[in-house]
Amino acid sequence: MAQTKTNALPGAEPELSENALKVLQSRYLIKDQQGRYIETPGQLFDRVASVVAGAEAAYGADARQVEQWHKTYYDMMASLTFLPNSPTLMNAGRRGMLSACFVLPVEDSIEGIFEAIKQTALIQQAGGGTGFSFDRLRPTGDRVASSGGTTSGPISFWRVFCETTKAIQQGAFRRGANMGMMSVEHPDILKFLHAKQNLADFTNFNISVKIADAWMKQVLKGGKTLHVVKNPRTGQNYLLPRRINAPDYTIGDLPK
């Protein structure tokens, strides 16, 4: 492994397993234009420790104290007592962003949806992960006043988020990761639940269903509980039948 010239490390060079070294090489160590490693694990930890310790100066620490924090933080990483998140290992001393997770609002408009997609691309390019709630998007088959037509629904726009992540992965520091969420009371909840039955779809998304306490208490009462859903655009309630073709139904198929 090629090494850059650097000052002496603040602590001992870390002793890492072969597997740990491979992980650092594949994801975190700096490479040159030819793809050769120009950073050792010790230099990586030194780079991170320097940035983290430097923040202490903003809270009154003098140069000696900053140096001590530098060594303390380095030793914690070199001994594998503590390691920060991936964006910190990748970006400290290189780019500004050290945070890992961002929750972005998805508004029910073309402008709002694609603003969220733009922010997703920028965050994932810098090594962050993103999460979204699709609750605000009107359901499949609902009216679009500006065109007089009907909407294709949240799942179709969800695919755009997924394809954005795929496109960004090629040039980003690491594979993009997403969390998709939808309320159990959204009319398209069955579409959401069935969307990943094709294992080739939405592979860069984990998904979660948002369930309120009141809904769960109603279910726990037992018996045949009606599943009531609500159009987020109009506030109109509908019944979601037990037997319905999940991929193909629209809001017009649901009884009020």
Instruction: Report pLDDT for 2.
Output: 41
For tokens 């987020």, name the residue. 232
pLDDT score of 5: 43
Residue in 48, 54, 134, 129 with CA at minimum distance from that of residue 88? 48
HSE-CB for 191 with a 13 A CA cutoff: 21
Please report the pLDDT score of residue 3 as a whole number: 42
pLDDT score, position 226? 85
Angle at 250 between CA 244 and CA 251, to 5 degrees: 105
Residue 79 confidence (pLDDT): 94
Q: pTM of the predicted model, to two decimals?
A: 0.79
Output the pLDDT for position 171: 52
- Measuring CA to CA, how many Å separate 182 from each of 102, 189, 191, 210, 229? 17, 7, 10, 6, 12
pLDDT by position in tens, the chain (length 256): 444 445 689 988 899 999 999 999 988 999 898 989 899 999 999 999 999 999 999 999 999 999 999 999 999 999 999 999 988 998 899 877 899 899 999 999 999 999 999 999 998 888 889 999 999 999 999 999 888 899 999 999 999 999 998 888 655 556 678 999 999 999 999 999 999 998 889 999 999 999 999 889 888 887 777 899 999 999 999 999 988 999 999 999 999 9
Element (H, E) at 26: helix 18-27
pLDDT of residue 219: 85
Count CA atoms closer than 13 A to 22's CA, side-chain side. Answer: 3
Tokens representing residue 15 in the block: 């002793």
